[in-house]
């Protein structure tokens, strides 16, 4: 009986030893990125891979600085719209669970020169303007000016662009709508005045619902 017990203990010990070896072997042979510690370069490449999947974000060639230890990254560079900036930040966050992203992206819209502006672009701009209850004159200049002003207002954090209606007729601009502060009203007027091709600006914006 005692012999049988010793044999059982030996078999059990041997089996556990084999299991331990198998586990160690699996860990050594199956070591992948999921078990290995992520490096800064690994995290940066994961973010870049997300950006590369989007042609517009990829074209912006944003810079990525990653810190794997703190699971954080800083994104910098320039994009053409606020929508692209938001998209880039969200894509970066999706690269790794819980990733903290510091946004240092600047928004600088691409300005189309008068020589580059086409009749097709003008038609598209008039269609969009009509949807917002805005007026654009019949000339290519009017559509071009409207495009530039709206683009600037969208990219300017000091102006609530979609609260502002922009009419352009014969190179004269009229601003309509309601803004929250006198500063927003003044900033919108300054944006319009500083736009090439504008002859005059009629600022009819109201502040807080009261005409100013």
The per-residue pLDDT for range 24-49, each reduced to its tens digit, is 434 444 444 445 899 999 999 999 99
Going along the chain, which residue ranges are E strands? 63-67, 72-79, 100-107, 164-169, 172-179, 200-203, 206-207, 210-211
Return the HEC string of 5-18.
HHHHHHHHHHHHHH
Query: Would you kindly state where each structural domain of the chain is located, as residue ranges?
Result: 40-107, 119-211
Q: Provide DSSP, 67-114.
A: ETTTTEEEEEEEESSHHHHHHHHHHHHTTSTT-EEEEEEEE-PPPPPT
When the pLDDT of each residue in the chain is averaged and rounded to a whole number, the result is 85
Q: What's the pLDDT score for residue 86? A: 93
pLDDT one-digit tens code per residue, 130-160:
999 999 999 999 999 999 999 888 877 788 7
Find the mean pLDDT for residues 10-16: 51
Assign a CATH topology to domain 40-107. 3.30.1340
d(CA 48, CA 175): 41
Confidence bin at 212 (pLDDT 50/70/90): very low
d(CA 160, CA 19): 66
Q: What pTM value is reported for the model?
A: 0.57
Residue with tokens 């990829």: 58
């Amino acid at each position: 009986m005692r012999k049988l017990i010793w044999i059982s203990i030996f078999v059990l010990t041997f089996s556990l030893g084999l299991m331990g070896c198998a586990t160690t072997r699996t860990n050594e042979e199956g070591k992948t990125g999921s078990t290995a510690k992520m490096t800064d370069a690994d995290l940066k490449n994961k973010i870049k891979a997300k950006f590369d999947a989007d042609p517009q974000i990829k074209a912006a060639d944003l810079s990525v600085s990653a810190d794997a230890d703190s699971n954080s990254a800083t994104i910098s560079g320039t994009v053409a719209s606020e929508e692209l900036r938001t998209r880039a930040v969200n894509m970066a966050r999706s690269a790794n669970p819980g990733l903290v992203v510091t946004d240092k992206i600047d928004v600088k819209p691409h300005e189309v020169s008068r020589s580059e502006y086409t009749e097709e672009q003008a038609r598209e701009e008039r269609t969009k303007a009509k949807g917002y209850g805005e007026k654009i004159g019949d000339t290519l200049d009017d559509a071009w000016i409207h495009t530039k002003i709206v683009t600037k207002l969208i990219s300017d954090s000091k102006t609530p662009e979609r609260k502002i209606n922009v009419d352009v007729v014969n190179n004269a601009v009229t601003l309509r709508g309601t803004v929250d502060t006198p500063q927003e009203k003044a900033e919108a007027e300054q944006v319009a005045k500083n736009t090439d091709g504008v002859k005059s600006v009629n600022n009819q914006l109201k502040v807080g619902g009261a005409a100013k």
